[in-house]
Chains A and B, each alone.
Chain A
Amino acid sequence: MIGDTLFLFKLYLITAPILFVVGIYAIITTRNIIAMIIGIEVMMKGVTVLLAAAGYFNGKPQVVEPLIITMIVVEVVILMISAGYIINIVKKHDSLDVANINKLKG
């Protein structure tokens, strides 16, 4: 049983950084501003899983529950604000491409 738990624990500790790397990679390579936000969301999912796993493997899942809920609330508000940014940027430039947005600025 201990071996199983250890294996699971390692699995979580590997998955979360991988999601982080995927998110960073998406943000760096894409030129679409909505895709950047999606990259950040992917990273957030990785962190959510890691935090839950941290609680589980510490024997304190009840303690991390409020933390995860708080995190989700904060995440949604930041996402709302970035949605507002995106809508305004598109109104100004009529494009979602980072290159076009930078070009106009000169």
Chain B
Amino acid sequence: MDLVHIHFLLLSLLVIFSILAALNIRIIKAAILLAVVSLLTALILFLLETPLAAIFELSVCAGLITVIFISVISLTNPLTREERIEEKAKTLKRFVFLPGIVLVCAAAFYMLENSTNFIPIGASEIAVAQEGLWNSRQFDLIGQIIIILAGVFGVIVLFKDNKDDGGKK
């Protein structure tokens, strides 16, 4: 099988699974489908020669995010049976439009691209000097540190029970 075909297969699977994930009525299934989407993304990242990012995607997005989603879903009340049946009919109704929209968009983007004059270079054809991963991106690293600290405070503030704190007014 050709490399192009593998890319094509993975990308179409990506689109199909994301449609399923986005419109699935059972949130727990949607979360698992999202993990599959992450998995496919990680495979694509491997093919695009960014293996470290792929490993990160696999462990964080397919692993951690799914865990977060599933724990949130288990902490919250899912829909009751009747609500689910009612919702299912509605979902089917709105599901009808999406494939059409996707096709129209694909055609539109294809038309748009035909008017570009950009010529891509394959990564295999050019040798890049392997530079230190973070040497040029230390500023982003600082940003990551700050946002992780902010996340820690987010957990402290948002997940704590406010019996003794907040809610004073």
Contact = CB atoms under 8 A, between A and B. Distances in A.
A87 B50 contact: no
**Size band of the B side of the interface?**
35 or more
B131 A68 contact: no
B82 to A, nearest CB: 13
Contacts of B76: 34, 86-87, 90, 96
B14 A56 contact: no
A84 B143 CA distance: 22
- Residues of A contacting B: mostly: helix
A10 B154 contact: no
Contacts of A35: 22, 27, 30
A103 B74 CA distance: 24
Contacts of B164: none
B49 A96 contact: no
A83 B77 CA distance: 14
14 contacts: A5-B120, A11-B8, A15-B11, A38-B69, A57-B123, A58-B121, A65-B53, A66-B137, A72-B56, A72-B61, A73-B60, A77-B148, A83-B68, A96-B77
Interface of B: 3-4, 7-8, 11, 14-15, 18-19, 21-23, 27, 30-31, 34, 37-38, 41, 44-45, 48-50, 52-53, 56-57, 60-61, 64-65, 68-69, 71-73, 75-79, 94, 97-98, 101-102, 105-106, 109-110, 113, 119-123, 125-126, 128, 130-131, 133-134, 136-137, 140, 143-144, 147-148, 150-151, 154-155, 157-159
Interface of A: 1, 4-15, 17-19, 21-23, 25-26, 29, 32, 34-35, 37-39, 41-42, 45-46, 48-49, 52-53, 55-70, 72-77, 79-81, 83-88, 90, 94-96
